[in-house]
Structure 1
Amino acid sequence: MNYYYFSLNIPYQVYLTHYNGAANNIVVMTDNGLRLQLPATRFRPFVTQLGLKGRFRLTTDQNSKFVKLEVL
């Protein structure tokens, strides 16, 4: 398994453009400086009235396939 750590702070109104389909992906910068592109739909469970804020861990398998995304 591979683990990638990153923080996000996206206001609710900005995230709505992703949710409404104007943008399909969110690009994040990991703590190690790696840029990752993830489908915006993966973040839906973590959106609050304040938006998408917090520290996250992305887990992928040995083939870099998505396993899970969790808030820390």
Structure 2
Amino acid sequence: MRDYILDLSITPDELHRYYSGKVITVVARARNGLTIRFAARHLRQHVTRNGIRGTFRLTTDDQNRFISLDALSPKDAH
């Protein structure tokens, strides 16, 4: 398994593009400098009325297939 730490800040307007189907893939830069792509549908559980804001751990298997996207508490984000 592989873990990537992502700092995400997505406004409600940007999220609307994902939900309307205009954008289906999220592209983010992990803290280690790698560019990560994953399906926007994996963000759904983290959406608030203010969009998505915070630090997340993206976990993939060894073939880079999505396993999970978990919000980290501020103390775990370092």
Q: Give TM-score scaled by structure 2 length.
A: 0.88
Matched residues, percent identical?
Answer: 35
Q: Where does structure 1 lack aligned partners over 5 or more consecutive residues?
A: none
Which residues of 2 match residues 28-47 of structure 1 at below 5 A? 28-47=28-47
Which residues of 2 match residues 23-62 of structure 1 at below 5 A? 23-62=23-62
Deviating 4+ runs (over 6 angstroms): none
User: Deviation of residue 31 (structure 1)?
Assistant: 0.2
Q: Distance in 2 between matches of 1:39 and 1:63?
A: 16
Structure with bigger strand share is 1
Tell me the alpha carbon deviations over residues 7-50 of structure 1, each in whole angstroms, 9 at most, x when there is no partner: 11111111111111011111000001100111111101101000
Q: Give TM-score scaled by structure 1 length.
A: 0.94
Count of paired positions: 72
Counterpart residue identity of residue 30, structure 2: T
Counterpart residue identity of residue 15, structure 1: L
